[in-house]
Amino acid sequence: MVTSTIALLAIGAGVAAAAARRAGTGIMPSADLSKRDIKAAPRDGPGYIIPNDNGGSCIGLFPNNTNGEPLNLIISGNSDAYIRSLEGFTAWSNAIGFGKECFGLHSGAAMQANLGDGKGWRSQQAEFRFLYELPPQVGACSESVIGGNHYRFWQQSTTSAWFLACSEEEDVFESHTIVPDGYDKGRDDIVSRALKNPTYRNKTYMTTVNYITGLLPVGDNGINHGITIDGRTAVLTIAVTSK
């Protein structure tokens, strides 16, 4: 188990490095990449690059576990420039009722993902949880205001697309057990909130969705907790208008 996880991570990194060499970019320290401007995806493309095509994976992994969790929602790099910034992505998350985890809520290990963007396997940038009460207020966090739905996220550095691993938990404060269908359910809940086109802090977020197949497996093979997934990925494109 341990050895195979390490082997899997090593293979993933090797393939990513090979892909980056083919692309003529080489692997650079992430400090160099982070200094670059936020890039838009090619205008005629879908606004993301399929991680698997480039040595990455659409499955996120935890340390010492060969099964993983689906990156089941993508926010296309064709979205508004504000959404492509961390500030805007966070504001949109707040607009649909999600925010930073509260003080005292233990979330466990960081998930690792490889988006095929030359950065290799790396930890989630953060995790946002559903907050029943808006606006999210630090200090008002208690069991009554925190929901089981949450997502971990990473930004693909080559396209600025956000990749989200969404899942719904049974009991956020005790077991952290994913509900049956918890990955699909978590994804669809976020999509339905996004499609309400919320207005928050004078900005309106208008979303279109496209469900695609072929990026994720169908069933429970390689999926954490033996939970079956339908193999669909929701791709959101978000436009923003200001009041």
Ligand X SMILES: *[C@@H]1O[C@H](CO)[C@@H](O)[C@H](O)[C@H]1NC(C)=O
Residues that bind ligand X (CB under 6 A): 2, 63-64, 201-202
Residue nearest to ligand X (CB): 63
Q: Residue 178 in contact with residue 170, Cβ under 8 Å?
A: yes
User: How near is the Cβ of 121 to ligand X at its closest, in Å?
Assistant: 13
Residue 81 region by backbone torsions, left for phi larger than 0, else alpha for psi between -120 and 50, else beta: alpha
- Give the chain's count of helices (H) and strands (E): 5, 12
Nearest approach in angstroms of CB 228 to ligand X is 26
Measured from the CB atom, is 40 or 110 closer to ligand X? 110
Cβ atoms of 148 and 171 closer than 8 Å: yes
Please report how close the Cβ of residue 174 comes to ligand X at its closest, in angstroms: 21
Nearest to ligand X of 64, 213 (CB atom): 64
- The encoded tokens of residue 39 equal 């890039």
**Which CB, 57 or 112, lies closer to ligand X?**
112
Q: Which is nearer to ligand X, 64 or 192 (CB)?
A: 64
Min dist. Cβ of residue 109 to ligand X (A) = 6
The CA distance from 149 to 191, in Å, is 12
